[in-house]
Amino acid sequence: MEILLAPLNGLLALLRFMGGVGLLMRDTAVAVPAAVLSRRGRRLGWENLWAQMNRVGVQSIPIVFLVMFCIGSILALQMYPTLQRFGVATTIPNIIAVAVFRELGPLVSAVVLTGFAGASIAAEIGTMTVSEEIEALEAQAIAPVRFLVVPRVLATTVMMVCLALVGDVAGTVGGLVISAGPLDMNLRMFLHRVFSQLLVRDFLTGLFKAGVFGVLISSLACYLGLNVTNGAQGVGQATTRTVVYTIVALIIVDLMFTAVFFALNL
């Protein structure tokens, strides 16, 4: 009997988790206008927001650039032998441009940000939950969502879009360096093919995905941090779950967006 109920219990747990994250997103969306526009006590602490943007995004730029540069280089090296065999090696810039701007730039940058900042957010808020700092905020009539979640969601969303731009540039530069170096491709031709291939929709769909990824990363991290139990062990578990759950969610959401954009011919 227990074996038969295990899948049902797992499904119910998944639905409760998704519902909890959804409710947190709703509360955050409701709190954002008041936090940004209010002139009184409910106003967002801008210094806190800048600090979060620096910690979450600015410090992630080097690792995102390095990872995407390597991926762009790998794409060029892996595609060249096959495309050269069919006499279409000159299409490497076209493929790199579409792959990086539409898919790899936003997705890989989001995965890097998950490990770099998502786990940090979960651990930070989880530690505050364990040490009863969240209860102290509530005792002072300070809403944890407005004070803790809103700055982190806004910072992660904005910086995720910026990091996607960095990743797009880095991936293209990586492919450019390899193509113009070992593959002996004309530099001017590479750039011409990149810019002739890219459309405005390629650029905008990638940035839209990046914004959604930023909301997803920060919301999952904050939710898991706010629901930590079992002391320090629970903080470690929340940190691990944040990375695993977020990466799986990012890939599923990216697949959904790609399918929708394909159906809409975007």
Q: Are 122 and 113 in contact (CB under 8 A)?
A: no
Count of CB atoms within 10 A of residue 124's CB?
A: 18
pLDDT tens string 212-225:
999 999 999 998 88
pLDDT value of position 40: 57
pLDDT value of position 249: 92
pLDDT value of position 109: 92
pLDDT value of position 43: 57
User: Is residue 188 helix, strand or coil?
Assistant: helix
pTM of this prediction? 0.88
Question: Number of C-alpha atoms within 13 angstroms, CB side, residue 62?
Answer: 3
Q: Are 24 and 222 in contact (CB under 8 A)?
A: yes
- The structure tokens 């390597």 sit at 70
Q: Are 116 and 218 in contact (CB under 8 A)?
A: no
Domain residue ranges in the chain:
2-263
Amino acid symbol at 205: T
Q: Are 166 and 109 in contact (CB under 8 A)?
A: yes
**Could you tell me the two tokens for 16?**
């409760």
Nearest to 252, CA basis, from 208, 205, 198, 216: 216
Predicted confidence pLDDT, tens digits, the chain (266 residues): 556 666 777 788 888 888 888 888 888 888 877 776 665 555 566 777 788 888 888 888 899 999 999 999 999 998 888 888 888 888 888 889 889 998 899 999 999 999 888 888 888 888 888 887 778 877 777 778 888 888 888 889 999 999 999 999 999 999 899 888 888 788 888 888 888 888 888 888 989 999 999 999 999 999 888 888 877 788 888 888 889 999 999 999 999 998 998 888 87
Nearest to 67, CA basis, from 120, 121, 110, 122: 110
- The structure tokens 């650029």 sit at 203
